Amino acid sequence: MGMLLALVLAALPVTGAGRAGAAAPATHRTGTPAAEPPPEFGSDWHDPVTAAPPVTAPGTRSCEVKVAHAQFRDFTPYKGAYTPPKGCGDRWSKVVLRLEGKVAGRQYDRLGHLRIGGVEILRTSTPQPSPDGITWSVEKDVTRYSETLRGAQPVEMLIGNVVNETYTGVIDVEATLTFYAAEGRTRPADTPDRVLTLDGEWLTTPRNSERVVAEVYATGSGGGCEEYWYLSVPDGAPYSCRTPDGPYREVQITVDGQLAGIAAPFPTVWTGGWSNPFLWYVIPGPRALDVKPVQYDLTPFAGLLNDGRPHRVEVSVLGVPEGQAGWSTPVNVLVWQDRGSEVVTGALTRHHNGVPANASTYTPGSEHRVDTRGGHRLTVSGRLNTSHGRVVTTVDRTLAHTSVHRWTDGENLDALKATWTDRERVTTDGRGPATAVRAHRAYTMDGTTTLGAGDRLRTVLALGDRADTAVERAGKRLSWSRLDDAYEGDATYTTNVPRDQRHAVGTSSERYRLYGTAGCHDRTVETAQGTVTRDRLRCGRKLPAGM
């Protein structure tokens, strides 16, 4: 972001002492609202908290295993060993990962991962600390990785960090897994039979695979322009981050060179983003501490993959200039097997790749402007001859993106309003009525940063993470859910002065609403000057079936 990127360096935590607010983990625990917020940010602030719901526990017997405990000062990964739990069997109703972290002093936001047996089970970033220190935690349902967790495995964890005379924060984290036994009427979740990783770019699946799903933890990061890919402009426009095709990005996966899946990347804003860490000290942006993978249903390609030979699987990000770094795309492949067959045969029966649309128009003026429209559609079908009959799977996915980017000379004003949509429908047709799984995802960003009189930098930003999903059979809806995670922030501070003269003020809020046949969650958290001013839970009841 040019000037704004440089100001991220200047916006590190203020110095001083003192605590503001009780500790609360980033996942779900209710914070202690302050009676009156301070007039400006002090030397410390409330620990990170979000309005997202907790991971529900089934209430059966549980066992806990510590996976890693490390202090990250550089880019040396933690290496350890994992041993499955004793006393909870090897078929679990749920497995929950919990990451607990603490950091004090001065530090950037840092990107990290946790891998067990080579399988990436968590991608995360870190909040930026106060001088006296913060604690936070992240919980994640990792039941789908149960097959990996049934055996002893090597562990690798890394949160790349730099510690020196200026950046003093050592990142101290501990990761544990809690296993909930499948007892009585509690049945194990529908987890995949195999969890595979790529051997370089090569994948070999079991020959009786009947469902194949790839997940990609795609993140644009590293401090360059791809960390702010949504703000890039086409060549020829006078802006600090330029790429030949503008800001349109699309995460693609291919099988043996043939396009197999497309997806819109989530526009993650890390906890130093938009040149204003004061926006994120208490409430991080959606997904910032728990990066969700992009998922692709590759079942139409299962007939090809089941030939017993390795196949090349590659992930790329459309819109990134060739040879330019900035994206990380680790891949896991989840496989469900046909236990009634040793070999499942089949073929790819349809492959329709629409022409990608991507047009960025630059308009010069006192306010420069780039208008972008992009999109793509891919439809693939494949048949499989399973032990329970012929099954045809069709995946139809449509992406769309619109954005308006405005800025002035010197980028003292920098504004973006953008929307990404990702519509997907997976239809399975075999014996009996066809089943369709539908997902409509929408991501929004509406923000403005200005540098005004007295070098006061102000950022006003709204982010949205929304998704409607449903499972239908023979035209009847069996289950549904609706997610609406909305963040708003407004923060101002003085630049180019000593840290104790920044006089920062800022408010932020998050309302996380999740409704569906599984229940409901509706929580709002609001902050001012680093303190929690409101924490309201509106809904936590079970919804009637069929709603």
pLDDT score recorded for residue 21: 34
At residue 35, the pLDDT reads 62
Look at 43 and 379; give whichever has higher pLDDT: 379
- Tell me which of 237 and 28 has the higher pLDDT: 237
Two tokens, residue 80: 């350890």
Do the domain assignments include residue 167?
yes
pLDDT of residue 543: 40
**pLDDT-based confidence at 186, cuts 50/70/90?**
low
pLDDT at residue 222 in the model: 66
Which range (16-25, 95-104, 362-371) has the least confidence?
A: 16-25
Average pLDDT on 67-75 reads: 97
Residue 490 lies in a domain: yes
User: How does the average pLDDT of the chain come out, rounded?
Assistant: 91
Closest CA to 359 of 411, 319, 321, 409: 319
Query: Domain check: are 352 and 372 in the same one?
Result: yes
> Same domain for 147 and 200?
no
Residues of the chain above pLDDT 70, percent: 91
Identify whether residues 479 and 522 lie together within a single domain: yes
* Residue 430 shares a structural domain with residue 470: yes
Q: What is the pLDDT of residues 476-511, one digit of tens each?
A: 999 999 999 999 999 999 998 887 899 999 999 999
Q: What is residue 194's predicted lDDT score, i.e. its pLDDT?
A: 97
Residue 547 pLDDT exceeds 70: no
Whether 222 is in a domain gets the answer yes
Banded model confidence at residue 29, pLDDT cuts 50, 70, 90: very low
Is 545 a domain residue?
no
What is the bridge-based pairing of β-strands 389-407 and 413-429? Answer: antiparallel
Specify the pLDDT at position 498: 83
Span 93-116, average pLDDT = 96
CA distance 280 to 447: 14
The reply to whether 546 falls in a domain is no
Tokens 């001083």 belong to residue = 16
547 assigned to some structural domain: no
**Which residue spans within 408-542 are E strands per DSSP?**
413-429, 435-451, 456-473, 476-494, 505-516, 519-528, 531-539
- Dig out the tokens for 10 from the structure: 């200047």
Token pair of 365 as six digits = 């003026």
**Paired tokens of 497:** 């002065």
pLDDT at 7 exceeding the cut of 50: no
The tokens describing 299, both together, are 């079942």
Say if residue 513's pLDDT is above 50. Answer: yes
Structure confidence at residue 143 (pLDDT): 97
For range 341-364, the mean pLDDT: 97
Q: What share of the chain is helix, strand, coil (3-state, %, to 5)?
A: 10, 50, 40
The answer to whether 271 touches 308, Cβ cutoff 8 Å, is no
The pLDDT value recorded for residue 437 is 97
Out of 183, 209, 229, a domain closes at 183
Token pair 């990250």: residue: 72
Task: State how beta strands 519-528 and 413-429 pair.
Answer: unpaired
pLDDT digit string (tens) for 324-338?
Answer: 888 999 999 999 999
Task: Tell me which of 94 and 17 has the higher pLDDT.
Answer: 94
CATH number of the domain to which 177 belongs: 2.60.120.230
Q: Label residue 23 by pLDDT band (50, 70, 90).
A: very low
> Is the pTM of the predicted complex or chain greater than 0.85?
yes
Residue 4's pLDDT is 41
For tokens 């204003």, what's the residue?
A: 276
Mean pLDDT computed over 505-528: 96
Q: How confident is the model at residue 455 (pLDDT cuts 50, 70, 90)?
A: very high
* pLDDT higher than threshold 90 for residue 185: no
Final residue of a domain: which of 155, 183, 211? 183
Does residue 179 sit in the same domain as residue 243? no
Percent of the chain with pLDDT over 90: 83
One domain for residues 294 and 343: yes
SS (H, E, C) 41-109: CCCCCCCCCCCCCCCCCCCCCEEEEEEEEEEECCCCCEEEEECCCCCCCCCEEEEEEEEEEEECCCCCC
* Residue pair 482/516 in contact by the 8 Å Cβ criterion: yes
In angstroms, the CA 223 to CA 205 distance is 36
Residue finishing a domain among 156, 183, 210: 183
Single-letter amino acid, residue 381: S
Q: Does residue 290 lie in a domain region? A: yes
CA distance 486 to 494: 27
Question: What's the rounded mean pLDDT across residues 264-281?
Answer: 95
Q: How far apart are CA 302 and CA 202, in angstroms?
A: 15
Which is higher by pLDDT, 451 or 499?
451
Q: What is the pLDDT of residue 190?
A: 86
Reported confidence tier of residue 16, pLDDT bands at 50, 70, 90: very low
pLDDT of the residue at 438: 97
Of 26-35, 414-423, 486-495, which range is least confident? Answer: 26-35
Which range of 6-10, 82-86, 432-436 scores highest in mean pLDDT? It is 82-86
Higher pLDDT: 132 or 146? It is 146
| pLDDT (tens digit per residue) in 358-395 | 999 999 999 999 999 999 999 999 999 999 999 999 99
Do residues 181 and 188 lie in contact, with contact meaning Cβ atoms separated by under 8 Å? no
- Looking at the structure of the chain, the number of domains it has is 2
Predicted confidence band at 321 (pLDDT cuts at 50, 70, 90)? Answer: confident
pLDDT of residue 500: 82
Instruction: Output the 3-class SS for 182-201.
Output: CCCCCCCCCCCCEEEECECC
Kindly state the average pLDDT of the residues 457-484: 96
CB 107 within 8 A of CB 152: no
Residue 322 pLDDT: 83
Q: Are residue 49 and residue 146 in the same domain, yes or no?
A: no
What are phi and psi for residue 43, nearest 5 degrees? -90, -5
- Pair 52, 65 in one domain: no
Clarify whether residues 163 and 294 are in a common domain. no
Contact 270, 125 (CB under 8 A): yes
Return the closest-CA partner of residue 125 out of 271, 331, 265: 271
pLDDT of residue 9: 33
Are 270 and 379 members of one domain? Answer: yes
Whether the per-residue pLDDT at 98 is higher than 70: the answer is yes
Q: What angle do CA 518, 48, 3 make, to 5 degrees?
A: 115
Sort residue 540 into left (φ over 0), alpha (ψ -120 to 50) or beta. alpha
pLDDT at res. 394: 98
Q: Which pLDDT value is given to residue 253? A: 98
Asked whether residue 53 falls in the same domain as residue 41, the answer is yes
337: helix, strand or coil:
strand
pLDDT at position 32: 56
| 308 shares a domain with 261 | yes
Is the confidence at residue 3, as pLDDT, over 50? Answer: no
Segments forming the whole domain that contains residue 514: 3-60+193-539
Average pLDDT over residues 219-231: 87
